[in-house]
Amino acid sequence: MDKDLEKRIREAMLNPQNMGELANADSIGTVGNSDCGEMLRMWVKFKDDNGRKVIDKATFQSFGCETAIAVASLATELIRGKTAEEALALKTEELAGELGPLPPMKIHCAQLVEGALRSALDPNNEEPKPAAPKTAAPAAHSTNLAESLKPKEGVKIVFLDKKP
């Protein structure tokens, strides 16, 4: 990987945006790549903007490499204010934003982010929505992706590298 890209990834990693579970998200997408073992989950919350249903916030958790985390950080910022259709129209390289072109060996890292986004925005997504907190006490959110990915009934993980 070239030094400039490494530097941009390192800079994105110094202040990653939108990491963590999003309480009361409207949809969730989880994808995995069994070749490299990385997984990424994305939460999306919508809002009404003058009659348009737009993405209010998107967050992520990752068992991913630095590139996947950097792309997820940039992508979750990029899609804010877009409709689901507009977000889905973004190409993989656009999600990587200011990181610029990724080398071939790192393109699948951005595809992991793209896959999680597509899964979250899939109208047929059957992954259960997060439950709203029942009390005023702090929500019992999982603290990390490993915990949140423990097998639960109904969780759907899409493996990007496996054909259906």
Interface ranges with ligand FES (CB under 6 A) = 33, 36, 38, 64-65, 67-68, 108-109, 112
C-alpha to C-alpha distance for 95 and 75, rounded to whole angstroms: 5
Closer residue to ligand FES in complex, CB, 92/130: 92
Pick the catalytic residue from 109, 117, 120, 160. 109
Q: Which structure tokens are listed for 13? A: 């990693």
Pick the catalytic residue from 23, 36, 88, 158. 36
- What's the Cα-to-Cα distance from 68 to each of 38, 91, 109, rounded to whole Å? 9, 15, 5
Closer residue to ligand FES in complex, CB, 12/68: 68
Minimum CB distance to ligand FES, residue 67 (Å)? 5
Q: Which structure tokens are listed for 26? A: 């409207």
Closer residue to ligand FES in complex, CB, 32/130: 32
CB within 8 Å of 62: residues ≥ 6 apart: 38, 39, 40, 41, 68, 69, 72, 145
Query: Catalytic: 36?
Result: yes
Query: Which active-site residues does the annotation give?
Result: 36, 109
